[in-house]
């Protein structure tokens, strides 16, 4: 059995930060991850979405270049190339993180860790003893009760990052940080976007002034949103989806992104 001062389950943002800090303090550290170093933020969240936002910003700059005296035409969006750029950003940061973890002397272990006793974790046939154990097991995209995410017509944020074309129209269920981020990306890339948020304003967890500023900006950009009305269901058709609200409103689109938060 290998013995460590610190054993960490999960190598996402929290896990690898704890591992690097433990190493700085002189601890012997094992970092266990069943998927990939960097977790959701690096591979399926913060970083790839920021790359898409930047690509969208470039497209908007081209559209608006005439106002600066620069003549240009936006010929279209090559989504496979956009994804290539996004994946390149992620890949470079991933390579750097791998080097940093190795340089700091952290033992990285690939596999699913399970508790088998006090201070003991098992990964496959290996056992690890830790004086301290940190649980940094991350989160996953949530849905609503009875709402099936099929990955084609009704998708979550992880599916959205893998799309090989820009949808002509999209409904986003949830006006929190994930929902408004994808709304901005898709609008910049040429989609018609409608956000459905059950609470009275977009990004309801933020200060009201922030919500108002975002709503003004979205109206100016032509991003549609409906707030303060409860979503009751979605119909899937051969042409796309139809979202239904409690007040009788319906919205049709090619697909629906479910962005109602993350669970652990």
pLDDT tens per residue across span 213-241: 999 999 999 999 999 999 999 999 999 99
Instruction: Taking residues 98-106, report their average pLDDT.
Output: 98
- One domain, residues 185 and 205: yes
- One domain, residues 95 and 13: yes
Q: How many helices (H) and strands (E) does the chain have?
A: 7, 16
- Rounded to an integer, what distance in angstroms lies between the CA atom of residue 59 and that of residue 225? 22
CATH number of the domain encompassing residue 63? 3.50.50.60
- Rounded to an integer, what distance in angstroms lies between the CA atom of residue 140 and that of residue 160? 14
- One domain, residues 29 and 131: yes
- One domain, residues 155 and 58: no
Considering 138, 173, 195, which residue would you say is the last residue of a domain?
138
- One domain, residues 126 and 200: no
Considering 138, 168, 193, which residue would you say is the last residue of a domain?
138
Residue 60's domain comprises 1-138
- One domain, residues 157 and 256: yes
The tokens describing 171, both together, are: 């409904």
Closest CA to 138 of 20, 8, 6, 4: 8
* Beta strands 2-9; 29-33: pairing state: parallel
8 Å CB contact between 173 and 182? no
Q: Using alpha carbons, list the distances in angstroms from residue 211 to 47, 176, 185.
A: 23, 10, 18
E-state strands within 20-144: 29-33, 107-110, 113-117, 120-123, 126-135, 140-141
Number of structural domains the chain divides into: 2
- One domain, residues 117 and 146: no
Which has the minimum average pLDDT: 72-76, 207-211, 251-255? Answer: 72-76
- One domain, residues 148 and 224: yes
SS3 162: coil
- One domain, residues 4 and 98: yes
Rounded to the nearest 10 degrees, what angle do helices 79-103 and 13-24 cross at? 30
- One domain, residues 77 and 180: no
E-state strands within 152-230: 154-155, 169-173, 192-197, 224-227
Instruction: Taking residues 11-19, report their average pLDDT.
Output: 97
The pLDDT value recorded for residue 264 is 83
pLDDT range class, residue 117, cuts 50, 70, 90: confident
The pLDDT value recorded for residue 112 is 96
- One domain, residues 168 and 246: yes
pLDDT range class, residue 29, cuts 50, 70, 90: very high
Considering 105, 138, 171, which residue would you say is the last residue of a domain?
138
The pLDDT value recorded for residue 1 is 84
**If you average pLDDT over every residue of the chain, what do you get?**
96
pTM recorded for the entire structure: 0.92
Residue 1 CA to its chain's centroid (Å): 37
The pLDDT value recorded for residue 104 is 97
- One domain, residues 99 and 53: yes
Instruction: Taking residues 96-108, report their average pLDDT.
Output: 98
Tell whether the model's pLDDT for residue 128 goes beyond 90.
yes
């Amino acid at each position: 059995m290998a013995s460590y001062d610190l054993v960490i389950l999960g190598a996402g943002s929290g896990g690898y930060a704890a591992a690097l800090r433990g190493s700085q303090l002189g601890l012997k550290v094992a970092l266990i991850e069943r998927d990939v170093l960097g977790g959701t933020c690096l591979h399926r969240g913060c970083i790839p979405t920021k790359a898409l936002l930047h690509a969208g910003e470039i497209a908007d700059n081209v559209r608006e270049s005439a106002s600066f005296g620069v003549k240009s035409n936006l010929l279209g969006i090559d989504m496979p190339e956009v994804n290539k750029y996004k994946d390149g950003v992620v890949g470079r940061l991933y390579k750097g993180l791998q080097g940093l973890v190795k340089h700091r002397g952290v033992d990285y272990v690939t596999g699913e860790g399970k508790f088998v006793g006090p201070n003991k974790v098992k990964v496959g046939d290996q056992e690890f003893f830790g004086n301290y154990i940190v649980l940094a097991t991350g989160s996953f995209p949530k849905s609503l009760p009875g709402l099936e995410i099929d990955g084609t017509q009704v998708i979550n944020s992880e599916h959205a990052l893998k799309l090989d074309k820009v949808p002509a129209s999209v409904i986003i269920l949830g006006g929190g940080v994930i929902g408004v981020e994808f709304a901005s990306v898709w609008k910049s890339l040429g989609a018609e976007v409608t956000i459905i948020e059950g609470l009275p304003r977009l990004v309801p967890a933020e200060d009201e002034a922030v919500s108002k500023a975002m709503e003004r900006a979205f109206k100016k950009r032509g991003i549609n949103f409906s707030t303060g009305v409860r979503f009751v269901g979605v119909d899937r058709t051969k042409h796309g989806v139809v979202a239904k609200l409690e007040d009788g409103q319906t919205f049709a689109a090619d697909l629906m992104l479910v962005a109602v938060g993350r669970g652990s």
